[in-house]
Amino acid sequence: MFKIDFRKYDHTLIVLICLCVVFGTIMVFSSSFIAAYIRWSNPYKFFLKQILWLAVGFVAMFITAFVINYKFYKKHAKIIYLVSWILVAAVLFIGVSRLGAKRWISFGFFSLQPSEFAKIAIVIMISDFISRKKDMVERVKGLIAPIAIIFFILLPVALEPDLGSPILVATVCFAMLFCAGLQIKIVLFCLVAGGLLIAEEIIRKPYRLARFNDYLASFINIDAASYQVKQSLHALGSGGFFGRGLGKSEMKLMYLPEAHTDFIFPIIGEELGFWGACAVIAFFIYIFFKGIKMSERMPDVFAEYLCLGITFVIVFQAIINLSVATGVFPAKGLPLPFISFGGTSLAISMSAAGILINLSQYGKR
């Protein structure tokens, strides 16, 4: 009979992740019911979808946390990577377009965003590479394979078009390689090369160039910032220390676009104030230091870098989202993990959290 010894796992990690996703669902309802009523005449539309995906996420998290051992990912790393690439490439041919981007595959009653799968698949693949070729990472020749792994799966994502996810995943992968011994001069060279590539992509798309110009101009005059950023900052500033109260945001009254997705953090700041925003930030700080500490106690190299990679994916994505919401980074569409509305994003974030929970049994030793 299948039995689970819950005592082996980190209870604090489990409780905080569960509290975060429940809190996120409450904030999705709070930030979306006005827009849902105006657009669809159903104030519960986004909330009910989030509840459904939350249930899927809990099942996925249970499986990755308590059923699948981390060694499964090492054994099937290439298959996971290949399936993820097929899904990402398929988007270019059979994907559905929303808001000018083709990033989803529709299955009728629900849609999947394969780039979310790619984030975890590439972390698994890079972890497998480091576990087998760690001594090669310090040499330039040792970068050929990981760069090919990164480029091969991120190219179709960039063609969707999506610039945020490739930046996030490439940053995570090079952070993992740096932790594995990649020389700082090589890291700096890759940063310069990556910066030039990003600049080329920004210049190539007029809407990206307009966003970036608004971003640069906002350092001199905040009125030059994009409409979303200005409304986001207004929401955060109007919340004060204790907020207007749950459900009492004014910016969600169609003033702040995508208030339940990419810009849910300003609604949290407006309704729950400075302390509510700090609680969200504190959660991701906890995940970061918990993941780093756990990685030091892993039983093998693959587990160590799998732990680091998943931690980096969650935390770096949160940093980008919070930075965009506060005007630190140019506007880029990446959801806040565990909190923003989004089916695939929520399910994959919870699956990744399940892997961390599975690895926590070794971190408790």
| pLDDT tens by residue, 290-324 | 999 999 999 999 999 999 999 999 999 999 999 98
Asked if residue 184 belongs to a domain, the reply is: yes
pLDDT in tens, 169-221: 999 999 999 998 888 888 888 888 888 888 888 888 887 788 788 777 777 77
What is the structure's pLDDT at 79?
95
* Residue whose C-alpha is closest to residue 329's, from 132, 163, 203: 163
355 in a structural domain: yes
Give the pLDDT confidence of 223-260 residue by residue, as tens digits: 667 778 888 888 888 888 888 988 888 888 878 887 88
Say how many domains are in the chain: 1
Instruction: Give 2 or 76, the one with higher predicted confidence.
Output: 76
What integer pLDDT is reported at residue 365 of this predicted model?
55
Q: Is residue 251 part of a domain?
A: yes
Mean pLDDT (the chain) is: 88
Sorted by sequence, the CB contacts under 8 Å of residue 108 that are 6+ apart come out as none
- Supply the pLDDT for residue 363: 63
**Are the CB atoms for 224 and 210 separated by under 8 Å?**
no
pLDDT in tens, 72-81: 999 999 999 9
Report if residue 44 sits inside a domain. yes
Whether the CB-CB separation of 215 and 323 falls below 8 Å is answered with no
Share of the chain above pLDDT 90, in %: 46
Contact 74, 302 (CB under 8 A): yes
**pLDDT tens, residue by residue, 337-363:** 999 988 889 999 999 999 999 999 986
Cis peptide before 299 (omega within 30 of 0): no
Say if residue 1's pLDDT is above 70. no
**Euclidean distance between CA atoms 108 and 127, whole angstroms:** 35
Question: Which two tokens mark 126?
Answer: 């890079």
Please indicate, yes or no, if residue 137 is contained in any of the structural domains.
Answer: yes
Q: How confident is the model at residue 50 (pLDDT cuts 50, 70, 90)?
A: very high
Structural domain includes residue 307 = yes
Q: Which domain holds residue 204?
A: 6-363
Q: Are 309 and 127 in contact (CB under 8 A)?
A: yes
β-partners of residue 96 are 104
Tell whether 247 is covered by a domain.
yes
Q: Does residue 1 belong to any structural domain of this protein? A: no
The whole-angstrom separation of Cα 213 and Cα 220 is 12
Cβ atoms of residues 328 and 294 within 8 Å: no
